[in-house]
Amino acid sequence: MKKAALLFAGQGAQVVGMGKDLSDEFPVAADLFRQADEILGRKLSEIAWNGPIEELTKTSNCQPALFVHGLACLSILRELAGGEFLINGAAGLSLGELTAHAAAGTFDFENGVQLVQKRGSFMDEACAATTGGMAAMIGADENAVRQLADEEDVDVANINSPGQIVISGELAKVEAAVAVAKEHGIRRATMLNHGTACRARLRFIPRARSRWRTGWITQAHPQRCGCYFSERCRIGPRLRRTAFQRVGRSTITFRHRNFRT
């Protein structure tokens, strides 16, 4: 069998109805959404399936919904493959890195849902202190984007590929950067459907990061496959600090490094 690798989406990929068709057709997917509802003590599935989009986009809803959806897709692949779907590696962008960890078996589904819920809730609290936004620069030279970011006082958040770079910061400043992007030779600039300003120099960031100094997962399990990350990080026996402090200022560069426990 050919080698297979999984890539999981990050925040911004959400859409109302996500997972509904899968759950209608595949009981294994419906069961994961049901489990998530029970673990969280609320109807996450209703928000994912029926919206509205403004409610789904809230980080405390969006992140666990994407986490469950990604693992629901994986459960269907495994079922269709009849137990022969072997994973050689897993990766993800930002939030997707946690989904990759669950797929690799670093922690179980229940712990993962709780972790992602806490992460999203803390980020929601942080974002209430200011108004931020993110935008994608398409067909852009990295140096040109960095110059634009400096001029408009925003940050380079993600370098997804040589031609796709994301900026982040105060909403008005991000919108201003989008408006003048073509003057910097950037082919297209578009605002992202993202409820936070991740990896930006906003004042709420240190307070949000401080909430991540206690681990909620007490046991790291042996991984079934390798995890590959966009930032150098290491997880100790309590799965805390560096690996999950994803609200901070560091730019995510999507060049994978082998992850080892």
**Is residue 205 within 8 Å of 247, Cβ to Cβ?**
yes
pLDDT of residue 260: 34
Question: What is the mean predicted confidence (pLDDT) over 102-110?
Answer: 91
pTM over 0.75? The answer is no
Is the dihedral angle over the CA atoms 103, 116, 35, 128 positive or is it negative? negative
Helix (H/G/I), strand (E/B), else coil: 43: coil
CA atoms within 13 A on the CB side of 195: 24
How do residues 168-224 score in pLDDT, each as one tens digit?
988 899 999 999 999 999 999 999 876 566 666 664 554 555 454 444 444 555 556
**Is residue 98 within 8 Å of 69, Cβ to Cβ?**
no
Highest mean pLDDT among 37-46, 96-105, 185-194: 37-46
Percent of the chain with pLDDT over 90: 48
Q: Sheet containing 257-259: which strands, arranged edge to edge?
A: 5-8, 89-92, 226-229, 257-259
pLDDT of residue 197: 67
Highest mean pLDDT among 78-92, 109-123, 174-188, 197-211: 174-188
**Is residue 140 within 8 Å of 48, Cβ to Cβ?**
no
Q: What is the mean pLDDT of the chain?
A: 80
Question: What is the mean predicted confidence (pLDDT) over 105-114?
Answer: 92
Q: Could you give the domains of the chain?
A: 5-127+207-259 (3.40.366.10), 132-197 (3.30.70.250)
More confident residue, 238 or 161: 161
Highest mean pLDDT among 44-53, 149-158, 207-216: 44-53
pLDDT of residue 10: 86
Q: Sheet containing 132-138: which strands, arranged edge to edge?
A: 188-191, 132-138, 164-170, 155-161, 252-253
pLDDT of residue 247: 36
How do residues 216-254 score in pLDDT, each as one tens digit?
444 555 556 666 655 433 333 333 333 333 334 445 454
Nearest alpha-carbon partner for 207 in 135, 141, 124, 147: 124
**Is residue 130 within 8 Å of 202, Cβ to Cβ?**
yes
Q: Return the minimum-mean-pLDDT range out of 83-87, 130-134, 203-207.
A: 203-207
Residue 255 has pLDDT above 50, yes or no: no
Q: Which two tokens stand for residue 167?
A: 């900026």
pLDDT of residue 88: 84
